[in-house]
Amino acid sequence: MNLKGRSFLTLKDFTSDEIEYLLNLAAELKEKKKKGIMGNSLKGKNIALIFEKPSTRTRCAFTIGCIDEGGHPEYLSKDDIQLGHKESVEDTARVLGRMFDGIEFRGYQQETVEKLAKYSGVPVWNGLTDAYHPTQILADFLTLKEQFGKLKGLKLVYVGDGRNNMANSLMIGSTKMGIHFTILAPKSLWPGQELIKTCEDYAKESGSIIEISDCLDAVEGADAVYTDVWCSMGEEDLAAERIAILKPYQVNDDLLSKTKKDNTIFLHCLPAVKGKEVTEDVFERFADVVFDEAENRMHTIKAVMVATLGNQ
């Protein structure tokens, strides 16, 4: 599999084989790191990390993943650079492309990360936009593989804001990989029709089933229940409204009992607002797997950089 020179902007651009390849590479890199074997695949590579929004996991995963492979990461917050203030995305992209070998971008518009890729001429990786969070999905799927030994045929139920970056990306990733995917959300927070249609096409090919429901019983049979914050970054002023409509969709013991299974796991991309989208009790019971998922951000992001930019 050769992904050299490719950008990682949305999972729509990747086949199931390519996603599988990245997951296997991440597992391999994880095993090596646990044994203390470090790589040098990014030796001599300089990587720009642009952040318009804050981050703990994604920033640290890119930083450590890059250094582990012998590369140099440079953190550029929105307040440090001219992007969006004094300089266009196109010009910033052309400057960074002359100096850096790869660029990570986290911010608001998907269009920005796409422009960076178009104009920089180097691989660009999406570290989260309002629309998608594709590197998170790799970590989620690596965690599912570690827990269940497979992806195909699992049932993943996402509960909460069904039209945010996580819901969108999980729907794309799941339908590509043959995971049965349910969104459990109030109708006003269902994903866009166009994306559902695209994912239905992926699902036809992979054999997965998509269900969008506002009825809590749709959680039945879930192998994994996933949730995310009710207000994504940039939507903080919608908090009161979201809490009111999403309260019935909290992941708590009652909801988990509706799976009618005793081996369902709970996942969360983090950061979590305990007491809102998930109870403290449920969160703590599944803390080991949730923090495996957080750790897997690093192994999977490292795999993306190695695969698209690495020397080997």
Site for ligand CP, rule CB under 6 A: 55-58, 128, 136, 269-271
Q: Could you say which of ligand CP, ligand NVA, none residue 222 binds, taking C-beta under 5 to 8 angstroms by partner kind? A: none
Q: Which is nearer to ligand NVA, 25 or 166 (CB)?
A: 166
CA separation, residue 63 to residues 2, 73, 113, 123, 197 (Å): 24, 6, 19, 16, 36
Residues with Cβ within 8 Å of residue 153, at least 6 apart in sequence: 178, 179, 180
85 is catalytic: no
Is residue 110 within 8 A of residue 81, CB to CB? The reply is: no
**In whole angstroms, how close is the CB of 130 to ligand CP at the nearest point?**
13
Q: Which is nearer to ligand CP, 139 or 185 (CB)?
A: 139
Strand partners, 105: 50, 126
How many helices and strands (H and E) does the chain possess?
Answer: 11, 9
Nearest to 8 by CA among 304, 311, 306, 309: 304
In the structure encoding, which two tokens stand for residue 67, read together?
A: 């250094």
**In whole angstroms, how close is the CB of 288 to ligand NVA at the nearest point?**
20
106 is catalytic: yes
C-alpha span between 156 and 199 (Å, rounded) = 15
| Annotated catalytic residue, options 57, 136, 140, 199 | 136
C-alpha span between 22 and 14 (Å, rounded) = 10
Q: Does 92 bind ligand NVA (CB under 6 A)?
A: no
Q: Does 104 bind ligand NVA (CB under 6 A)?
A: no
Q: Which is nearer to ligand NVA, 9 or 233 (CB)?
A: 233
**In whole angstroms, how close is the CB of 129 to ligand NVA at the nearest point?**
9
Q: Does 219 bind ligand NVA (CB under 6 A)?
A: no
**In whole angstroms, how close is the CB of 136 to ligand CP at the nearest point?**
5
**In whole angstroms, how close is the CB of 224 to ligand CP at the nearest point?**
16
In the structure encoding, which two tokens stand for residue 85, read together?
A: 């203030």
| Interaction mask 252-271, ligand NVA, x per CB under 6 A | -----------------x--
What is the amino acid identity at position 59?
R
Nearest to 235 by CA among 56, 108, 52, 55: 108
Is residue 256 within 8 A of residue 266, CB to CB? The reply is: yes
Question: From start to end of 56-139, where are the E strands?
Answer: 72-77, 102-106, 124-126
Q: What is the DSSP letter of 131?
A: S
Identified binder of ligand NVA from the candidate list 52, 104, 223, 228, rule CB under 6 A: 228
Q: Which is nearer to ligand CP, 45 or 57 (CB)?
A: 57
Q: Could you say which of ligand NVA, ligand CP, none residue 164 binds, taking C-beta under 5 to 8 angstroms by partner kind? A: ligand NVA
Q: Does 293 bind ligand NVA (CB under 6 A)?
A: no
285 is catalytic: no
The number of residues making up the chain comes to 312
| Interaction mask 163-202, ligand NVA, x per CB under 6 A | -xxx------------------------------------
Q: Which is nearer to ligand CP, 55 or 164 (CB)?
A: 55
C-alpha span between 71 and 76 (Å, rounded) = 16
Q: Does 159 bind ligand NVA (CB under 6 A)?
A: no
136 is catalytic: yes
Q: What is the DSSP letter of 140?
A: H
Is residue 6 within 8 A of residue 275, CB to CB? The reply is: no
The binding site for ligand NVA (CB under 6 A) comprises: 128, 133, 164-166, 228-229, 232-233, 269
Q: Which residues are catalytic?
A: 106, 133, 136, 228, 269, 297
